[in-house]
């Protein structure tokens, strides 16, 4: 038996109990005549004591030679700790060691295994197995487990059946590049790793499963960032014989359950916002509604004077920054520089101070009088003491720029509080979006999304105006889930493929199996997929997902720990009928 108890288990009630513990040496303190060692495992830390009055000289010498992260086993008696530590659960006791067994020596770690470590991200990713020993990472992985278990329990109790779908599938265009896998047994042919189990879950509905879910790995070969990985996990769900309202109610219930059970937060309201309103009021389709600063469109009150910057703009739009009048000129200049960064792309920013006495002071006082500026304040909802920030230009670009500024200001003002949760449904996305490069429409979600009822005929005349029967669930400014009511008949699906530029032959080659299945009685169906990595991070109060993934990739899609991806040898290439044509 390596241990009778774990290192977070013992309390004062265990005093005078003989125990066996195993774990890693966190640190030691050597006073010569007495040695203390902190022993750590997943469950906590227990202090060990080696005392020359009660411990053999040989045992003390062994303890003095212990290094950080040595794996050891000890036997001893639980005694009352003379100097108690109220900061840890085991702080009332310590172990008077009678036997020490070194199970494995360890090199000195390249960074300290502490909550606040001296290791940068690159070195910690290279030695991720050591990083996992640190409490923040360990607790994040345990937190992910808790969320995942709650999801499984909730959906299972609600009648959903967990079904696994294949990882080796056919390459289909779904918006991002596929990861492809060569087939040795089928020369010159390739599998693809699934971007989602989309077609399979629809086939499960044709198969009569009625309610399906799966916690599943998905793969997309796309540019990465802090909340995106080439392999990620979805909570994938589908339901038959439902309408949009059924989907929204089902997954509001799951989200409400997770917030209550995981975070202890009761959330009753899930507001709904049209996509067009989200873009108009917040400049993006996943607005953070924990705070205000909604956009005010100023064209009607700003384009009547001789200020060509505004007069020549498609959109003039502003936000009221609460308490922003306290900003110094230097601080405002830094904000202007911030919006002019290439990542944001604004050409400049106009601002207006809302003074406590009801007057206004603006960077464009030359063109606008107090009455004009009062109208700006009215449109943006600015109050005395606020600052109005105004951008102008192309409608789509300027909305994105002001959205970035809004989020940056909210971060600086401490308005994005991680322990507050504000869910939101964003509804009625465009069904199609125009791609300038290919000069044709693409599906905003995927080719299987149905148009809103009654809008099918509009595809023939104004395809860009057709709304999708689609919805995203947003939490604290992050999309945590998205889905739609699917097309479930062959005729409508064929029409959709036509508008996406597929020839009948291409549609049959790519999706013939699905079209064939629809001819055998497909029920009305729809679903939603949560991004588990992002959901867990937000519930855990974080913006980035890496610490909630055991072995994440870096921003280049590399696993620096195992050095992957890596070349394969010539024999493997020959076996797969592949020849490399690398650019020098």
For 19-44, what is the mean pLDDT? 96
Residue 424 belongs to what H/E stretch?
strand 423-427
Q: Is 221 annotated as a binding residue?
A: yes
411 is in an annotated binding site: no
* Cβ neighbour number for residue 568 with a 10 Å cutoff: 12
Compute the mean pLDDT over every residue in the chain, rounded to the nearest whole number. Answer: 94
Asked if residue 144 lies in contact with residue 547, where contact means CB atoms within 8 angstroms, the answer is no
528 in a labelled binding site: no
b/e code 466-476 from CB counts within 10 Å (16+ = b): bbbbbbbbbbb
∠ CA 547-550-555, rounded to 5°: 65
* Residue range 432-449, pLDDT digits in tens: 888 777 777 778 888 889
- 482 is annotated as contributing to ligand binding: no
- In this structure, the strands spanning 190-192 and 180-182 are antiparallel
- The confidence score (pLDDT) of residue 445 equals 80
**Secondary structure string (H, E, C) spanning 181-220:** EECCCCCCCEEECCCCCHHHHHHHHHCCCCEEEEEEEEEC
Backbone φ and ψ of 235, nearest 5°: -95, 100
Asked if residues 486 and 529 have their Cβ atoms less than 8 Å apart, the reply is no
- Gyration radius of the chain over CA positions: 30
Q: What is the pLDDT of residue 455?
A: 85
What pLDDT does 90 receive?
98
* Tens of pLDDT, residues 284-297: 999 999 999 999 99
Answer whether 198's CB lies under 8 Å from 221's CB: no
> Residue 162's pLDDT band (boundaries 50, 70, 90)?
very high
Give the integer Cα–Cα distance in Å for 154 and 158: 6
pLDDT for residue 478 is more than 90: yes
Q: What is the pLDDT of residue 496?
A: 85
Is 531 annotated to bind a ligand? Reply is: yes
- Nearest CA among 577, 570, 540 for reference residue 265: 540
Q: Which of 523, 573, 579 is nearest to 201 (CA)?
A: 523
Q: Residue 584 — very low, low, confident or very high, per pLDDT cuts 50/70/90?
A: low
Q: Is 547 exposed, middle or buried (0-12, 13-18, 19+ CB in 10 A)?
A: buried
Instruction: For residue 544, name the pLDDT band (cuts at 50, 70, 90).
Output: confident
Residue 570, marked binder: no
CA 93/CA 44 separation, integer angstroms: 13
- Distance (Å, whole) CA 136 – CA 142: 10
184 is known to lie in a ligand binding site: no
Neighbours of 57 (CB within 10 A): 8
**How many Å apart are CA 82 and CA 90, to the nearest integer?**
13
Query: How many CA atoms lie less than 13 Å away from 342 in the CB half-sphere?
Result: 0
Q: In this structure, what DSSP letter does residue 488 have?
A: -
**Lowest-confidence pick of 72-76, 167-171, 457-461, 546-550:** 457-461
To the question of whether residue 479 is assigned a binding role by annotation, the answer is yes
- Residue 328 CB burial class (10 angstroms; 0-12, 13-18, ≥19): exposed
Q: According to the annotation, is 498 in a ligand binding site? A: no
**Residue 222, annotated ligand binder?**
yes
Domains in the chain, start-ordered, CATH in brackets? 12-104 (2.40.50.140), 138-161+194-272+423-545 (3.30.930.10), 291-413 (3.30.1360.30)
- Cα separation of the two ends of the chain: 58
Model confidence band, residue 493 (pLDDT cutoffs 50, 70, 90): confident
The predicted-structure confidence for 268-285, as pLDDT tens digits, reads as follows 899 999 999 999 999 999
Average pLDDT in the 315-327 region? Answer: 97
d(CA 324, CA 293): 12
CA-CA distance, 237 to 527, in Å (whole number)?
5
**Could you tell me if 518 and 488 are in contact, meaning their C-beta atoms sit under 8 angstroms apart?**
yes
Three-class DSSP category at 112: coil
Residue 227 pLDDT > 80: no
**Is 297 annotated as a binding-site member?**
no
Task: Please report where in the chains the tokens 């359950």 appear, as a residue.
Answer: 257
Tokens of 57: 């000289």
Which residues neighbour 159 within 8 Å (Cβ) at sequence distance 6 or greater? Answer: 210, 211
Instruction: Calculate helix-pair angle for 395-412, 275-282, nearest 10 degrees.
Output: 70
Residue 423: beta bridge partners?
475
**Is the model's pLDDT at 173 over the cut of 70?**
no
Count of Cβ atoms closer than 10 Å to residue 179 Cβ: 16
* Residue 229 marked as a ligand binder: yes
């Amino acid at each position: 038996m390596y241990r009778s108890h774990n290192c977070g288990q013992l309390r004062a009630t265990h005093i005078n109990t003989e125990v066996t513990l195993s774990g890693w040496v966190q640190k030691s303190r050597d006073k010569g005549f007495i040695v203390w060692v902190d022993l750590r495992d997943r469950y906590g830390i227990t202090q060990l004591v080696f005392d020359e009055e009660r411990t053999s000289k040989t045992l003390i010498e062994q303890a003095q030679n212990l290094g950080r992260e040595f794996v050891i086993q000890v036997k001893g008696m639980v005694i009352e700790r003379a100097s108690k530590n109220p900061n840890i659960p085991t702080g009332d006791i310590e172990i008077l060691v009678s036997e020490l067994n070194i199970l494995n020596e360890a090199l000195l770690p390249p960074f300290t295994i502490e909550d606040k470590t001296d290791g940068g991200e690159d070195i910690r990713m290279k030695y991720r197995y050591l990083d996992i020993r640190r409490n923040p990472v360990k607790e994040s992985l345990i937190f992910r487990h808790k969320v995942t278990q709650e999801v499984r329990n909730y959906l299972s109790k609600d009648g959903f059946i967990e079904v696994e779908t294949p990882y080796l599938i056919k390459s289909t265009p779904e918006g991002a590049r596929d990861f492809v896998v060569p087939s040795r047994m089928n020369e010159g042919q390739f599998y693809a790793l699934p971007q989602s189990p989309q077609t399979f879950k629809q086939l499960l509905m044709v198969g009569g499963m009625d309610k399906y879910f799966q916690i599943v790995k998905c793969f997309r070969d796309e540019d990465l960032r802090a909340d995106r990985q080439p392999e990620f996990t979805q909570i994938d769900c589908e339901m038959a014989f439902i309408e949009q309202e059924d989907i929204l109610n089902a997954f509001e219930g799951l989200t409400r359950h997770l917030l209550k059970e995981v975070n202890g937060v009761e959330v009753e309201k899930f507001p709904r916002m049209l996509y067009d309103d989200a873009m108009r009021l917040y400049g993006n389709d996943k607005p953070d509604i924990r705070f205000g600063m909604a956009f005010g469109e100023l064209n009607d009150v700003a384009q009547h004077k001789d200020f060509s910057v505004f007069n020549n703009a498609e959109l003039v739009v502003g936000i009221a920054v609460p308490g922003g009048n306290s900003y110094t000129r230097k601080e405002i200049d830094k904000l202007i520089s911030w919006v002019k960064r290439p990542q944001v792309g604004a050409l400049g920013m106009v601002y207006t101070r809302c003074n406590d006495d009801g007057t206004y002071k603006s960077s464009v006082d030359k063109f606008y009088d107090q009455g004009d500026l009062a109208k700006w304040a009215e449109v943006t909802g600015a109050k005395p003491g606020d600052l109005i920030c105004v951008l102008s230009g192309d409608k789509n670009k300027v909305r994105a720029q002001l959205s970035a500024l809004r989020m940056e200001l909210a971060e600086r003002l401490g308005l994005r509080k991680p322990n507050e949760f504000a869910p939101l449904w964003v509804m009625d996305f465009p069904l199609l979006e125009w791609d300038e490069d290919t000069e044709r429409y693409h599906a905003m979600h995927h080719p299987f999304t149905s148009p809103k009822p009654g809008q099918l005929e509009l595809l023939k005349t104004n395809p860009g105006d057709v709304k999708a029967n689609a919805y995203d669930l947003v939490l604290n400014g992050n999309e945590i889930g998205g889905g739609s009511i699917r097309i479930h008949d062959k005729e409508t699906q064929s029409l959709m493929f036509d508008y996406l530029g597929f020839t009948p032959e291409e549609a049959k080659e790519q999706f013939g199996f699905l079209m064939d299945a629809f001819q055998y009685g497909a029920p009305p169906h729809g679903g939603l997929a949560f991004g588990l990595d992002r959901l867990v991070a937000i519930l855990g109060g974080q913006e980035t997902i890496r610490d909630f993934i055991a072995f994440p990739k870096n921003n280049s899609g590399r696993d620096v720990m195992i050095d992957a991806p890596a070349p394969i040898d010539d024999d493997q290439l020959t076996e797969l009928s592949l020849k490399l044509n690398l650019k020098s």
